[in-house]
Amino acid sequence: MRILTLDAALARCGAAVVDERGVLAERFRDAPRGAAAGLAALAGAALEAAGGTIDLVAVTVGPGSFTGLRAALALAHGYAAAAPCPLVAVSVGEALRAALPDDPSRAVWVAIDSRRGTVFLDRDGDIASFALEALPASAGPLAIAGDAAIAVAARLAARGTNTLLTDARLPAPAAIAAAARQRIAGALPPLAPQPLYIDPPQTHAPASAPRPPP
């Protein structure tokens, strides 16, 4: 199965074509969150380099950048409709867990910087926002992944939690594809291909009524 992976959730924007042998072609660039304007070009270059057709599109749906998630999803829906082929959503936490070796002795917590002074903490699919000084307690040893892993692991270790800091920081194409295969096989619960937002958007109604048109 040839899978087109698309990701613009965090600080890297990228696309790749992956099959059972591994990554056939990958194009990415590091960029501030939300800088997903070049994702279509990256996807086109990866598809051209890999050649052939695709059987599935897998896209990260969050938590992450408001703009990045929406841009990646719009592109994913377009490619899936054009192929045509199925579209599978993958959370950032699922992709990062898929990149780690299986260790039943440790629970994996994925910590994502919300850019609002808090972190999104994904505890096996239970995702919530926490301040660093108010992180929940763990009943056992932990492995920490995500772009906020260093800060979270340091806080938990200071409280005496048995904490392992992993090197999984950003979703990788092979891991996104692996999580998509797990979802298709039923090993992961259904997830809609739409943005996975945890906090409400930072938008406000105007203080006064809009001016009438001229």
How do residues 19-41 score in pLDDT, each as one tens digit? Answer: 999 999 999 998 766 567 789 99
Q: Is 193 left (phi over 0), alpha (psi -120 to 50) or beta?
A: beta
What pLDDT does 31 receive?
Answer: 73
| β 126-130/142-145 pair status | unpaired
* Token pair listed for 210: 């809009």
Q: Is residue 109 part of a domain?
A: yes
What's the domain range around 70? 3-92+170-185
- pLDDT at residue 67 above 80? yes
Choose between 108 and 66: higher pLDDT: 108
* Mean predicted lDDT score pLDDT of the chain: 92
Question: Helix or strand or coil: residue 55?
Answer: coil
What pLDDT does 211 receive?
Answer: 54
Same-domain pairing of 133 and 179: no
What pLDDT does 43 receive?
Answer: 97
* Token pair listed for 171: 């979703």
Same-domain pairing of 88 and 106: no
Tokens 């939300």, located at residue: 34
Same-domain pairing of 88 and 22: yes
Same-domain pairing of 13 and 81: yes
What pLDDT does 37 receive?
Answer: 77
How far apart CA 26 and CA 177 sit, in angstroms, is 13
Q: Total domain count for the chain?
A: 2
* Average confidence (pLDDT) over 161-174: 97
What pLDDT does 116 receive?
Answer: 83
How far apart CA 188 and CA 61 sit, in angstroms, is 15
Question: Helix or strand or coil: residue 4?
Answer: strand
Residue 209 DSSP class: P
